[in-house]
Amino acid sequence: MKLRYIALMAAVTMFLPASCNPEDQTAATFPELDSFMPEPDVPSQGKSPKRGICTNFRHRDAAGVPLMPSVLGEGVSWCYNWAHTPLDNATWTALKENGMTFYPMVWNAGFSQDNLATFPAADPSSEYILGYNEPNLKDQANMTPATAGQNWPGLVSASENIGMKLVGPAVNYGTLEGYGDPVVWYDEFLQQSGVSIDDIDAIALHSYMPSGESLKSLMIRKFSKYGKPLWLTEYANGEAQDVTAQMHFCQEATIYLEADPAVEKYAWFMDSTGSNTKPHFPMISNDETSIGGQPSSITDLGRLYIGLSTLDKDHWYDVDVNIPAEHYTGQVIEETAGQDAWGEYVETNITKDLYGNLEIRNLSGTKWVEYNVYIPEEGTYRIDLRYRSAVETVVRIDCEGAVSAIETLPATTTLQPYSTYGVEMTLPEGRHTVRLTAPVGNLNLNWLRFTSPVK
């Protein structure tokens, strides 16, 4: 489709290092260009080793191959299914082909060491055993700290025998009398004879808090006192009344978990429960081919989950490629992720543009995003921003505090909801982290691109 590529670049003020003469600062304008707007490139960040999914492998093709790995594997690195029953070959193949690791779970006191041994034998990266599932809930493992403590040494011994690491019992706010507070249960569990924090490689948690802030304060921060990596092996908004609310929670909670160094892994509950009902909306749609509908596919919630940034600091973008805005390499939530307080974060939504997948939204005030960029030679580059904004918005672009550009972007309109605007900026050669802010106004950004040097 032929699209009008609008470069409304007027009076771009360049702020060079303080040592530079103000007379050297330049401004430039670019005429409107009539050209094809290219489909954005998707230079991929590395997958997050943290990001996982709870699954029951419900959706399978006609040959019995589970669909979850191929549907979600682009952004999900690991999974589990609350069991340690050996997996069939088709499932192992699908997992490996999509770069996913499976971890077995010992749901309650009963387990088979032989079954557990099949997992690292099939995939050496399957090196963790997940411990008891919600022991302080009556309708789950239903184990007092004393009962769990009596059985735990056997699981420790089994994990040592087969060379696997052990994730401690996964607790939540519960229904077991006297142990509604998961910290109370854990404190008492660790006091049992034969139980040692040294035998636990990570602590598992579950949470259905309705906000990222409550998840952080009432679960993650409370369990940081044990000094162990934390695995949030179930989470979602347990109060979501519609998929919009669940998607809002997913993007704020997930990017926080990605940024918090205390969190080693996390897994969304779940890929699909087999229905499209509140609060657990699916990431994989239900197969309706038997009634004339569509086969299983990824939902918007799934697209959001696998598309969120992994904060990959080792990924460097080249010039002349369209960088998905949501694949930033840093954002403002990193300033507070490891602290007790809940901080600002940059939101991500499904884009409404003609192309692309997600976009960042409501970039404003002191919020920021950063992108790692490789600049092949010193020169003046044009930074194209594919954006929408209901109001005139001031955008500031900083290159590691040494070089800056500030430009006012006009508001987009109903007839032209997205526009592409170019900002000139002189950049030094090498690898640089570029920060984007919108101190005045409000910016939704689909993608950005560093062009070849302006001649």
- Of 99-108, 210-219, 413-422, 427-436, which range is least confident? 413-422
> Domain map of the chain by residue range?
13-44+312-450, 51-307
Question: Which pLDDT belongs to residue 15?
Answer: 29
Q: Which of 85-94, 179-188, 232-241, 400-409 has the lowest mean pLDDT?
A: 400-409
Mean pLDDT of the chain: 90
pLDDT digits (tens, 9 = 90+) for 423-440: 999 999 999 999 999 999
pLDDT of residue 42: 63
Q: Does residue 189 have a pLDDT over 70?
A: yes
Task: Quote the pTM value.
Answer: 0.91
pLDDT over 90 at 7, yes or no:
no
pLDDT computed for residue 43 by the predictor: 62
What pLDDT is stored for residue 178 in this prediction? 97
Rounded average pLDDT over 111-137: 98
Return the pLDDT at 44: 76
> 15, 93, 33, 73: which is closest to 271 by C-alpha?
73
Report the amino acid identity of residue 121. A
Predicted confidence at residue 446, as pLDDT, reads 95
- The pLDDT value recorded for residue 40 is 63
pLDDT for res 41: 66
For residue 42 the two structure tokens come to 């998707």
DSSP string, 36-64: PPPPPP--PPPPPSSEEEE-----B-TTS
Residue-wise DSSP of 114-146: HHHHHHHHH-TT--EEE--B-TTSTTTT---HH
pLDDT above 90 covers a percentage of the chain that reads: 82
* Angle between helix 300-307 and helix 243-259 axes, rounded to 10 deg: 10
Task: Report the pLDDT value the prediction gives residue 37, as an integer from 0 to 100.
Answer: 57
- Residue 1: pLDDT above 50? no
**Residue 210 pLDDT > 90:** yes
User: Does residue 176 carry a pLDDT above 60?
Assistant: yes
What does the pLDDT read at residue 383?
95
At residue 401, the pLDDT reads 81
Q: What is the mean pLDDT of residues 12-41?
A: 37
Which residue type is seen at 448? L
What pLDDT is attached to residue 402? 84
Q: How confident is the model at residue 294 (pLDDT cuts 50, 70, 90)?
A: confident
How big is the CA angle at 250 (ends 274 and 244), to the nearest 5 degrees? 75
What CATH topology corresponds to 51-307?
A: TIM Barrel (3.20.20)
**Average confidence (pLDDT) over 262-280:** 92
The three-state secondary structure class of 317 is strand
Whether residue 226 has pLDDT greater than 80 = yes
CATH, domain range 13-44+312-450: 2.60.120.260
pLDDT at 379: 94
Q: Mean pLDDT, to the nearest integer, of 349-369?
A: 94
Domains 13-44+312-450 and 51-307 alike in fold = no
- Give me the mean pLDDT over the 28-39 stretch: 42
Residue 14 pLDDT more than 80? no
Q: How distant, in Å, are the alpha carbons of 6, 9, 21, 288, 403 from that of 380? A: 20, 14, 17, 54, 11
Please list, in sequence order, all residues whose beta carbon lies within 8 angstroms of the beta carbon of residue 437, skipping any fewer than 6 positions away.
363, 366, 367, 368, 395, 396, 398
Question: Residues 228-247: what's their mean pLDDT?
Answer: 97
- pLDDT for 289 equals 82
Query: What's the pLDDT score for residue 29?
Result: 35
